[in-house]
Structures are given as structure tokens and as C-alpha cells.
Structure 1
Amino acid sequence: MERKPLKGIHHVSALTANAKHNYEFYTKTLGMRLVKKTINQDDPSVYHLFYADERGNPGTDLTFFEIPNAGTTYPGTNSISGTSLRVPNDESLQYWKNRFEELGVEHDEITAESGRATLAFRDFEQQRLYLVSDENNDGVSGGKAWDKSPVPQEHGIVGLGPVLLTVSKRENTEKILLDVLGFKHVRTYTSSQIHDGKEVHVYETGEGGSGAEVHIVERDDLPRERPGRGSVHHVAFRVENEDELNKWVEYVKQLQIPNSGFVERYYFKSLYFREPNGVLFELATDGPGFEGDESFEHLGESLALPPYFEDQRDMIEARLKPLDTKE
């Protein structure tokens, strides 16, 4: 059964121990829009927050599960060790460097990584983040920054850039990317400072460009990462629609790769599996999107529950700590 190439990065999901501080940082400091305040569908007792461009276009979502008792992350191998966010151009990085200095956000200097101006920074839980300039990007287009953001629209975050994996055996992950998911190995580069001067391998899918890349660093000198607050849970790749996802479900099943099978997430449909180094991959459909249960004007203001959780709303709301997102 012929499958279309994956279109790029769909979303990245990470962990936070504090939904309130997380909301304040990603909306007020980074200027992203909270497009959905919902629950972790695998554990309805905790929040799942989606930050994105103005309407949560595929490829723009950085999401967080709130795990209040999450411990410290001990960085290491076999992990998603960096998430990048795209900004319009090189000038935008200077704006962000100044903004981080004014607001006391921990950051590095602007460098060139893989031919792109890049600014590494950390959030309040040491989430490892990078701003990358789209100035020379000619691949998958970004989204549109929200015009009501505290960040000027001309410098706003327009989507997810390359996702960095640190693994103990690169060839194991590479085999899945190339032979199963249809990525191409396009180049290598030596990291100037961000990745300890190591060689980084770049893989791309679909139209390519920063919104469709996975970067891999091999490290056999590190222990396995112990995840906690500020760590990344999984990365999702874009599938055009439900019919395409069903083809992937059948294909992964035929390959006898342990997987979740088809999963209904309401805002998109999904398939999950782990590559041999243990990193969790998801394939997710581009639609239906986030406006099925809230209007564009009021995205993220109320607790949204997929229809199959509505009969549990009273119990769910009683267990969640109130989070005011109507500002």
C-alpha cells in the first residue's frame, strides 16, 4: 500500500511540574498562543497544554503534560535532547536575545548551527530550547504568529524547527528514519558550541527545511537520560489524513514493530511506537485541528474535553488545579 511521505514535524510534547508557571512562560515570555487547555487523555487527572501559532497549525505545536511531582531531569542519551522554535529572520534573534536579557531568561550567544542563526535558551525548568532563524529556509513553510501576542508579530515564533536526538547508537535510529519513515540523510555538520562540538547528522522528510528535520548526535559516553520536569516525552511527525495514517498503522504492524495501533486524540489521530534506542515517535494527522470545540477567537480559554470525556467533566475539573487562561 503506497504511503505518502511524512510532511515534517507535527508537534513535540514535553513535561512540566507547574502548569501555571508554564503557561506564563510560554505565552507571556515566548508569546506563543495557548490554543488548547485540555487533559492528558492517558491520565485525565493532569493538564495537557498546547502552545502554537495563531490557530495551532500542524508543525507549530509545543505541548506540555503537567506532572506535579516530576523530579529533576538528568540529561543523557537516548532522548529528545533539544527542541527548536522557528522565528522569521536573523534580525529576530537579536530581538529575542535582548528580550531574554531584559526578562532574565537563561540563554547562550547567537551562533550558526547547520547554516542557520541559532539562539539556545532554557525555560524555568531547564527545558532545552533553541530559536532558529528562517531567513534562509526554503522547505516546509511556517505558521503565522498570533497578532495579540506580547511579542511583535514580525519577530514571533512561527513553528517548530529541527528536533535534536541524542542516542547511544545512531545507526539504530537512522534505520527507522530511513527504512521505515522514509527520511533522507542530507548532511552532517560539526556543532560550533551547542552540542559540545560533536558531529551532527541531519535527516529530512517531505519538502525538507527546518520544519521537517531530525538532527542526531551519537554519544556513547553518557548515561541514559533520566526524564523529569523539563524533559521531552515524544516527537510527532505529520501525516496528511486519517486514510494515510491507517496505511502507516498497517505498515508498522506488518514490520512487527511494537506499536499503539490507531489512537483517537480528537484533535488529531495518532500512532505511537519506540525506535530501537527507546525514543518515542508518534505519527499524527494534520486534522481535524483545534476549532472543533472552540472558536478561533476563544481558543485555549476554557477546559476543552474530547466528547468521550464529557460525561466525566465534573470529576475531572474537581481534580485539576484551576488555571486561569482567559487573559
Structure 2
Amino acid sequence: MYLLKVSNYGGVSVKALKGIHHVSALTAKAKENVHFYTEVLGMRLVKKTVNQDDTSMYHLFYADEKGNPGTDLTFFEIPQAGRTYPGTGSISQTSLRVKDDATLDYWVKRFDENDIKHSGIIDKFGRKTIEFTDFEEQRLALVSDETNEGVAAGTPWEHSPVDREKGIMGLGPVRLTVAKPEKTHNVLTEVLGFENIGTYEHDGKTVTVFSVGEGGTGAEVHVEASEETRERPGRGSVHHVAFRVEDEEELRKWVSFITEKGYANSGFVERYYFKSLYFREPNGILYELATDGPGFESDEPFDTLGEKLALPPYFESQREEIEAKLKPIK
């Protein structure tokens, strides 16, 4: 396995991260959000739960057929959220993987039929891509897995309104936009074990590509250098990106590793569906490290994932109070 060893910090050894775990964003309208991501993009709502740090808001998870690690795009609902003013210190684009180049032709037609703004098919770092936005200007892209040789994709849900062969298979590269790129580059390579594998130009700005673990579409972070003002987040912005860790034992090693590196962090956090660690890098990007398991079938069977409000056991005694604060979503 890939190993990182830092003898100057107590000799803590950790296995390399396995790729992207999930991306969590903000929405002001949960009902419309569910419609867009399930009926238009055809992803499966695998978990309808609450933000464990604020149970008055929904936390919605869209993914492949069962919410495999690396396939989850999640949303916190904040009804009063204002618009996003894009800028630096942000996760400025989330991409979603599809099978091959030909599949993008299907999505161009689908986007046109649904009046979704998009770029058409473009080339980005050797891959065919379509950039688009959702109804709240969430910045998204579809990326072809035609040439992917890295982290395996997930499996689209067979009951999706999108043909299974054309469906979204998981998360692709995330793009960060930062004012001081060298600081983010350093965290990715010297702390998280990513490798610098190249650059490309995007809207006149240089983007540096970093890869981790097995690499490929599901294991890249693209860092865009920008001198814009700092982003003011709101609906349509991204809250954090999470990277994959094998299991709880490995995550606890990462807690020690990040602490010894001198970064303030959350310590070990129990999320029930996975275990987590959070810390913020110098440009303000919030990173999470999350375990691959236990997964979303911990409290619901595969066939009915996401159909009811799911609460971790430690919130179950508060179900009546929590449900009273939430507007039902069908």
C-alpha cells in the first residue's frame, strides 16, 4: 500500500488517501434540490437525514445505487441562505463521472430539454467535459471516464429516470480556487500525500492538478490560482470536500498525523454512516477525512434507502422534536 511517513513528527505512518469520498454543498430549497438531483441528474437519494451539528436542517445524500464511497454529493438545506458571490477560498466546481465520451452527447440533449445552462462538450486536462449549473448556480461538471485508469467508479441506480448506461457513476475532480496557491499545493503534497501531475488553463487562469492513491478521475484535486476577492458563500456554494480513509483505525492515525503537523482540527468525529476528521487549510478550504464504512445500509435496507427520515441512534430519542422542525419532502 501507499505509505507516508513523517519521522520528524513522532514517526506517525499513515496509508495514502484513497480518493474523493464526498462533497457537501448548500441549498436553500430541499424539495427543488431533490427534484433536480434525482429527476434531472438521475442520482439516487440514498439518505435523507439531518445535519448532525444542527438537526433543524436536512442533510441530503445523492449517490450511485447504494452510496458507495466516492459517489456522494450531499446538501445541507439552509432556507434563509442568500446567493453566492464567487471568489477565492472556495471549492469552485464539483464534477460528476459518466461512462464515456459518447455519453456526453446524451447529456447535452438532456440539458437542452431541461433548459439547463451548459458549456457544451469541451476538453479539460485530456478529458471530455460539460460544465453546467443547477437551479441555484451550483457549479458542476460532467466528466468522461473514457480514459480513466484509476479509482473505480460506482454503479448507477437501475430505477433512475436516466438510462443506467448513461447514468452518473460518482464524483470526479473537485476544483479549488485560491489566492495563495503555493500554500494549498503544500498541504496537498506535504500533508495529504497528493502528487502534482500537471497543469492546464481555465478561463485564463492556471490550474494545477494533484492526484492521490490509485489516481484517475475519482482521486484528483484541481487548484486554480486567482486574484479575485474572497467568495461569499450561500445557496449554490460548497461547504467542504472529503477524502477517503480505509477504516476507523486508519482515521485515528490521521488524527494524530494532522495534529502533529500543527493543524487545528476536529479530532475524531462519529457520523454513524462514516467516521470523520475535519481541518481547514491556509486558504480557508475545509477538508474532511472520512472512512469508507459502515455505509448507508446501517439503518435502512438497500431497496428503501432514502425514502424516510433516517436518524443515527443517538438522535432517535429526539425524532418527534426533530421532525417537527422539518418540512416534509416526498
Give the TM-score band, short-chain normalised: over 0.9
Task: Report the 3-state secondary structure (helix = DSSP H, G, I; strand = E; otherwise coil) of the residue aligned with 1:95.
Answer: helix
- TM-score w.r.t. the length of structure 1 is 0.97
Offset of 1:197 from its aligned partner?
Answer: 2.7
Is 1:27 paired with 2:38?
A: yes
Residue 287 of structure 1 aligns with which residue?
A: 293
Secondary structure of residue in 1 paired with 2:18? coil
1:188 aligns with 2:199: yes
- The counterpart of 1:301, out of the listed 296, 303, 307, is 307
2:14 is paired with a residue whose SS is coil
Match among 320, 324, 327 for residue 321 of structure 1: 327
Paired residue secondary structure (1:82): strand
Question: Aligned equivalents of 2:319 and 2:165: distance in 1?
Answer: 39
Mapping for residues 180-219 of structure 1, pairs under 5 Å = 180-191=191-202, 196-219=203-226
Equivalent of residue 135 in structure 1, options 146, 153, 166: 146
Aligned to 1:51: 62
* Rounded Cα–Cα distance in structure 2 between residues aligned with 1:62 and 1:162: 12
How far apart are 1:83 and its partner, in Å? 0.2
Paired with 2:131 and 2:188, the residues of 1 have a C-alpha distance of 25
Where in structure 2 are the equivalents of 1:95-110 lying within 5 Å? 95-110=106-121
Q: Which residue identity lines up with residue 116 of structure 2 in the other structure? A: V
Distance, in Å, in 2 between the alignment partners of 1:9 and 1:237 is: 4
> Could you say what secondary structure the match of 2:189 adopts?
helix
Stretches (4+) displaced over 6 A? none
- Bigger mean CA deviation after superposition, 101-110 or 27-36: 101-110
Which of 84, 90, 93 is residue 95 of structure 2 equivalent to? 84
1:312 paired with 2:289, answer: no
Displacement after TM superposition at 1:170 (Å):
0.4
Return the match for 1:154 from 155, 165, 178: 165
Give the number of aligned pairs: 319
Q: Identify unmatched segments of 5+ residues in structure 1.
A: none
Query: TM-score with structure 2 length normalisation?
Result: 0.96
Q: Distance in 2 between matches of 1:261 and 1:87?
A: 35
> Any stretches of 5+ residues in structure 2 without a counterpart?
1-11
The percent identity for this pair of structures is 66
Q: Deviations over 1:95-153 (max 9, x none)?
A: 00000001111111210000000000100000000000000010001000001000001
SS in 2 for 1:291: helix
Cα separation, 1, equivalents of 2:150 and 2:328: 40
**Secondary structure at the residue paired with 1:313?**
helix
Q: Give distance in 2, aligned partners of 1:109 and 1:239.
A: 35
Equivalent residue number for residue 181 of structure 2: 170
Which amino acid letter does the alignment assign opposite residue 239 of structure 1? V
Q: Residue type of the partner of 2:225?
A: E
Q: Distance in 2 between matches of 1:49 and 1:96?
A: 24
Distance in 1 separating the partners of 2:154 and 2:71: 7
Q: Distance in 2 between matches of 1:252 and 1:271?
A: 9
Identify the residue that residue 125 of structure 1 maps to in structure 2.
Answer: 136
Once residues 264 and 246 of structure 1 are traced to their aligned partners in structure 2, the CA distance between those partners, rounded to angstroms, is: 12
Cα RMSD for the two superposed structures? 0.6
* 1:138 alignment partner, SS class: coil
- Structure 1: how far apart are the matches of 2:112 and 2:199? 32
Cα drift, residue 256 of structure 1: 1.9
Query: Residue type of the partner of 2:209?
Result: V
| Equivalent-residue separation in structure 2 for 1:311 and 1:2 (angstroms) | 40
Match of 1:234 in 2: 240
